[in-house]
Chains A and B, each alone.
Chain A
């Protein structure tokens, strides 16, 4: 390679040769699949050459300029939930015994990690009340897509029927996974109370064969779904019921969807001790009935005995996976979110069964308080009457995106304007309240929302 720059080994001539080789005129063409509005249009507004020390000082100064509301004054949910994570979680996952860059293949060198994943799988089964689980997937949205693919592998319905109250980003990820498969998605509607309509699901199922019915619990608008009703509708149509759980703290209070008739439960596990981290890495989980074992995506850790009869853990049922089955594998995922799964296991172990129930009850109580306070605020109302967990929709007297900008100036993030996903829902705001929101901030939120018009 050339001699253009001390730290960048490729010279202009090298780059031109590489571009010619792959048949691309400019480097920018390689980024053509990224939508233009998301691409940087000019250089970063930094001096062309700063010393490391100057750059550090400059970026620290700019970070101080960013608006950083008090964490207690943020009411964002919509798939990413702020929860307190005990210090022990961070401490234990930072130990070098666990801090590995890749998933463990070799049982002789990785018993600790394998046992931790096995325990994670056990916890996910207990929470969802299903029989099997895997070593984790990328995130809640891709876990849902994997569940849909698994339903099609086992049922061959050729179609998926999805509630219009499922997280729109989960649906978008599913559409991406299914884009080149002959597997269309039919959406069905909801009732006036904000929950998905089982009769609408039945109508959609009667339009033709389907592999699965998908609902989210609690749904994207915060409302609780009648899982049993959807399980019955799915059974009548010989389809599977997939339940997506974006906020798994809710499982501390709600029945496990498996017990309510779900065949597969997927979800986002970051609420269990994994920081928000600006969107990731997160933790996708999947649990299913025993009969799906051979069709599960991803890694599975199993318990076994060594030659001396001692308990040990191994990656098992690998014939489902890409490194053995190539194009016939159940999924193209060949890894898991090992460290995030470990954080979830530690979180759940520390919080405990009663602790998770208390935490869920705390979330629900605070959210119910906020819901009542905001419903009584001037000009505000609740468009939906269905029961909620820690998230709910509020109808404001003004456009919600405008309200968010107004409250941001007062040091608050009141929620997510739903017009971002659903054109026409201009005045609807999705508000989430967790154990991290003090009562004083909830009161202040209600007061501020009551002053909007």
Chain B
């Protein structure tokens, strides 16, 4: 996966709540976008669900807390949590440093691949945040 640095990797899917999703077979990896981490500022705490718990597309599954704000994180698609990035418990700033790499949040077993159609491509997401910024 490519590093953040203000770009929005073409191989990822995006949500209006600024999460990204990488799909590999039936497994999706979820994180927050470069835009989200830069808007939040220094991230100091992440709260994530336990492995095995179900998440539903569009519903919140955790929180990210920065020195400025607390934000909910929403599931891009439905599924079961396979793995959580436990390294974030002690170094949440990884999300700022590497939002698409070591700053991933969790891996999901996808419930319904049709849900992917509702997500944005990198180009659509770039356009979306430009509009949101204006």
User: Which residues from chain A sit less than 8 Å from chain B, CB to CB?
Assistant: 156, 294, 319, 324-325, 328
Contacts and interface: CB of A to CB of B under 8 A. Distances in A.
A319 B70 contact: yes
Interface string B61-77: 00101000010000000
B70 A324 contact: yes
Given A156-B50, A319-B45, 7 more contacts: A294-B45, A294-B47, A319-B65, A319-B70, A324-B70, A325-B70, A328-B63
- Interface of A, secondary structure class, is helix
A354 to B, nearest CB: 39
Contacts of A324: 70
A437 B45 CA distance: 52
Nearest to B49: A156
A328 B70 CA distance: 11
Interface residues of B, number: 6
A325 B70 CA distance: 8
B47 to A, nearest CB: 7
Contacts of A325: 70
A294 B89 CA distance: 11
A294 B65 CA distance: 11
9 A-B pairs with least C-beta separation: A319-B70, A319-B65, A294-B45, A325-B70, A324-B70, A294-B47, A156-B50, A328-B63, A319-B45
A85 B70 CA distance: 44
Nearest to B44: A319
Nearest to B53: A156
A362 B47 CA distance: 47
A83 to B, nearest CB: 41
Majority secondary structure of chain B interface residues (helix, strand, loop or mixed) = strand
Contacts of B65: 319
A324 B63 CA distance: 14
Contacts of A294: 45, 47
A398 to B, nearest CB: 56
Nearest to A319: B70
Contacts of A328: 63
B28 to A, nearest CB: 23
B73 to A, nearest CB: 13
Nearest to A295: B47
A327 to B, nearest CB: 12
A219 B70 CA distance: 41
A156 B47 CA distance: 14
B74 to A, nearest CB: 14
A240 B63 CA distance: 24
A211 to B, nearest CB: 13
Interface string B39-53: 000000101001000
Nearest to B60: A328
B128 to A, nearest CB: 26
Contacts of A156: 50
A328 B63 CA distance: 10
Nearest to B47: A294
9 contacts: A156-B50, A294-B45, A294-B47, A319-B45, A319-B65, A319-B70, A324-B70, A325-B70, A328-B63
A328 B65 CA distance: 13
A123 B50 CA distance: 34
B65 to A, nearest CB: 5
A131 B97 CA distance: 31
B26 to A, nearest CB: 26
A324 B65 CA distance: 12
Most buried by A among B47, B50, B70: B70
A150 to B, nearest CB: 14
A319 B70 CA distance: 7
Interface string B91-106: 0000000000000000
Interface in B1-57: 45, 47, 50
Nearest to B50: A156
A328 B45 CA distance: 16
B44 to A, nearest CB: 9
Contacts of B70: 319, 324-325
A156 B51 CA distance: 13
Nearest to B89: A291
Contacts of B50: 156
A325 B69 CA distance: 10
Chain B CB within 10 A, most for which of A156, A319, A324, A325: A319
A46 to B, nearest CB: 55
A156 B49 CA distance: 11
A156 B65 CA distance: 22
A236 to B, nearest CB: 19
Contacts of B63: 328
A156 B63 CA distance: 17
Contacts of A319: 45, 65, 70
